[in-house]
Structure 1
Amino acid sequence: MSLPVEDLAAQALSLPPEDRALLLERLIASFEPKSPAQEAWFKLAQRRREDVRGGRVQMVPGDEALARVRARLA
């Protein structure tokens, strides 16, 4: 028996942030066909996320990152 969409949405929104993110990733992936390029990008994103979580890299604020890119292009 399937749940009405509103009930399902309410349950999903009550999940912790990490679980909601995982659910979102799975829902988005269900709309896109699997391709080698998509799989490679996904694996890269997962590695980068783990690098941040593991403290191996440090995040840079968006404005600062854009300023660095603009300086390199100038």
Structure 2
Amino acid sequence: MGDRWHVEVDRGVCIGSGMCVGHAPDGFRLDAARQSHPRSAETDADEEILAAAESCPVEAIAITLRESGEPVFPPEE
């Protein structure tokens, strides 16, 4: 069994670029105010969701391991 992720979008930081939806349309949606939302707060580890987080121009997307809370993205420095 693979890792499970918790996905959050900081809507105070999100600028509504839509890059996340472009990379992972099954993982993110934009609301009427063009703010990103994960389609599900918990998901199986997914390369498209990781690519979406990495492509966010303002790093508004955070991914952590569900079990431990360890950061997946952005990585700890």
TM-score range, shorter chain: under 0.3
Higher helix share: 1
TM-score in terms of structure 2 length: 0.23
Q: Which has the larger radius of gyration?
A: 1
Higher strand share: 2
Structure with more contact order per residue of length (Cα contacts < 8 Å, sep ≥ 6): 2
